[in-house]
Amino acid sequence: MTRVLFTTAAMAAHVRPAVPLVKALVSGGHQVAWYTEPEFEDIVTGTGARFVPARAGVDTKDLLHRTGGKGRGFSGLNRLVLELFLKPIPAHAKDLTAVFDDLRPDVVVSDHSFRAGLLVAEQRGIPRVAFSAGPLNLSSVDTAPFGLGWQPSSSALGRLRNRFTAWLMYGVAYRERQRVLGGVRADMGLPSLGGYSIDWVARTCDRYLQTGVPEFEYPRSDLPVSVEFIGPTQPEEDDTAPRPPWWPQVLRARAAGRPVVFVTQGTIATGLARLVLPAIEALAEEDVLVVATTSGQDPDTVLPAERRPAHVLLAPFVPYGAILPLTDVLVTNGGYGGVQHALTHGVPLVVSGTSEDRMETNARVVWAGVGISLRTDTPSSARLRRAVRTVLRDPSYRSRAQALQRAYASRTGTGRAAAAVVEAAASRPLTGGA
């Protein structure tokens, strides 16, 4: 039996992707405790793990409010990372000291953005595993800095571009990140590290588990040896939730060969005027069946039935695992989890969105040839209509998505991630540093 401590940021996008991994470890007979904010207690206990409430006095909701809840653009993303993930580290590290004393974990697993747990583990020489449920967020000579949404380039000119923009962003614009993290390491008695702070997690962990597959990620000649692609890890409740009452209409459309377009805006950016309503307007005259989620809102409030086209079906939530096998195109703002889920079913995409890490996810959609990115949070109906028509009519998008589907099927996802955690626990503890 291995004693495992999970630590995650208090955000659903960071908590929910870890659920299948925690369940796999619990079912494997390992003792798992999970440190996060009280609002996620039900999710934690539902996995069979022991819930350990964060008592650091960090109000995540207040921080999100003060930062506008946005990571839009280069400066917005920088501010969000500083306020939400970096400056609270000392408070969480102090809180975790007692947790470590009590639990005496054999290995610590943390979402890659929640560094406090990893730093305390490094301080104590405990094996540590980072878990990333977003696009790979590391510097490279072959890629532009994370957050720009630029395509990679390993040519001589491209590498010159990459080096210069990396220095400009990581060394100048993100200098405060470097200062804050360097100060935290010094205060904790940890050795200073050269290079860019964005890479320090991968450099100081036994394993860096990256969800997804290499075929969707930019190739890097300097990929750290700690990085391992583990494939898909979707929460099972997305597949097993009840179907909406209009579900037979979807089955009939599919059987008749009528294209099904699934539209979703995710659970964070829930202003449906950004994407869902423009998409419905865009497809009002198209010979397709539109299935759209209303992000938990009442469909009759979002779009009353008397104003709703007959070929538009709405529900507060639609189980991804049920709808995606019936979908011809997914229209989404580009959340990494939703995009990955679509590709496991070979579904091509039309993506929008520039906040948080969506710009990077959507750039990878284009690079992999599996869809079209509109590069805006508020696409017009005309642009959405053209993009959906293009993806439906050009078979290359579906072909590339199906190729990635095969790549995802070749990796075990949760099973491999659980094995990697146990392997890390059994390995010789790191002593810290690079």
pLDDT tens figures, 153-191: 999 999 999 999 999 988 888 889 899 999 999 999 999
Under the banding of pLDDT at 50, 70 and 90, the label for residue 433 is very low
Quote the pLDDT of residue 156.
97
pLDDT beyond 60 at 152:
yes
Quote the pLDDT of residue 265.
85
Under the banding of pLDDT at 50, 70 and 90, the label for residue 412 is confident
CA distance 148 to 359: 7
Quote the pLDDT of residue 210.
96
Q: Rounded to 10 degrees, what is the CA torsion of 428, 3, 84, 351?
A: 90
Which uninterrupted H or E stretch holds 159?
Answer: helix 156-166
Which candidate, 70, 48, 202, 35, places its Cα nearest to that of 130?
Answer: 202
Quote the pLDDT of residue 76.
63
Q: Rounded to 10 degrees, what is the CA torsion of 100, 104, 107, 112?
A: -10
Percent of the chain at pLDDT > 90 equals 75
Strand residue runs (E) in 106-159: 107-111, 128-132
- Rounded to 5°, the CA angle 343-42-121 comes to 80
pLDDT beyond 90 at 420:
yes
pLDDT tens for each residue of 280-325? 999 999 999 999 999 889 999 989 988 999 999 999 989 998 999 9
pLDDT beyond 70 at 267:
no
Quote the pLDDT of residue 71.
47
CA distance 388 to 348: 10
User: Does the model's pTM come out above 0.85?
Assistant: yes
pLDDT beyond 80 at 384:
yes
206-209 LR contacts (CB < 8 Å, sep 24+): 206/127, 206/128, 206/129, 206/424, 206/427, 206/430, 207/129, 207/130, 207/420, 207/421, 207/423, 207/424, 208/112, 208/129, 208/130, 208/132, 209/129, 209/130, 209/131, 209/132, 209/417, 209/420
Quote the pLDDT of residue 434.
38
Quote the pLDDT of residue 217.
97
Would you state the CATH architecture of domain 3-232+411-426? 3-Layer(aba) Sandwich (3.40)
Helix axes 414-426, 19-27, angle to 10 degrees: 60
CA distance 130 to 206: 8
Which candidate, 20, 72, 30, places its Cα nearest to that of 50?
Answer: 30
Averaged pLDDT of the chain: 90
pLDDT beyond 60 at 431:
no
Quote the pLDDT of residue 61.
63
**DSSP alpha helix (H) spans, 205-335:** 237-240, 247-255, 276-282, 299-302, 320-323
Chain centroid to Cα 427, Å, comes to: 28
Q: What value does the mean pLDDT take over residues 207-227?
A: 96
Quote the pLDDT of residue 240.
65
CB 109 within 8 A of CB 421: yes
Superfamily of domain 239-409: Glycogen Phosphorylase B; (3.40.50.2000)
Quote the pLDDT of residue 2.
95
φ/ψ of residue 129, rounded to 5: -130, 125
Residue 310: C-alpha distances to residues 221, 289, 335, 370 (Å)? 51, 9, 28, 29
Under the banding of pLDDT at 50, 70 and 90, the label for residue 352 is very high
Under the banding of pLDDT at 50, 70 and 90, the label for residue 77 is low
- All CATH 3.40.50.2000 domain ranges of the chain, comma separated, are 3-232+411-426, 239-409
Least reliable range by pLDDT among 207-211, 334-338, 397-401: 334-338
